[in-house]
Amino acid sequence: MENEVLNIEKVGNFSLISRSEHFSGNSVYSTKAKFSDTGTYHDIQIKFLEEDGGLKNQVLSVYIDNKNVFQVKRLQWNFRGNQTIFLDGLLVDMMWDVHNLFFNPSSSGDAAVFMFRTRNGIR
**Full-prediction pTM beyond 0.75?**
no
Looking at the domain assignment, is residue 7 inside a domain? no
Beta strands (DSSP E) in 1-123 are 27-33, 42-51, 54-64, 67-72, 80-87, 90-97, 113-118
Domain hosting 89: range is 27-118
Residue-level pLDDT at 28: 84
Question: For residue 12, how many C-alpha atoms fall within 13 Å in the half-sphere facing its CB?
Answer: 15
Looking at the domain assignment, is residue 10 inside a domain? no
Number of structural domains in the chain: 1
Q: Is the dihedral of CA 72, 37, 66, 43 positive or negative?
A: positive
Query: Tens digit of pLDDT for each residue in 41-96?
Result: 999 999 888 877 666 678 999 999 999 999 999 888 889 999 999 988 889 999 99
Rg (C-alpha) for the chain, rounded Å, is 17
Looking at the domain assignment, is residue 48 inside a domain? yes
Looking at the domain assignment, is residue 101 inside a domain? yes
Cross-strand pairs, 95: 82, 115
The identity of residue 39, as a single letter, is G
Q: What does the mean pLDDT of the chain come to?
A: 77
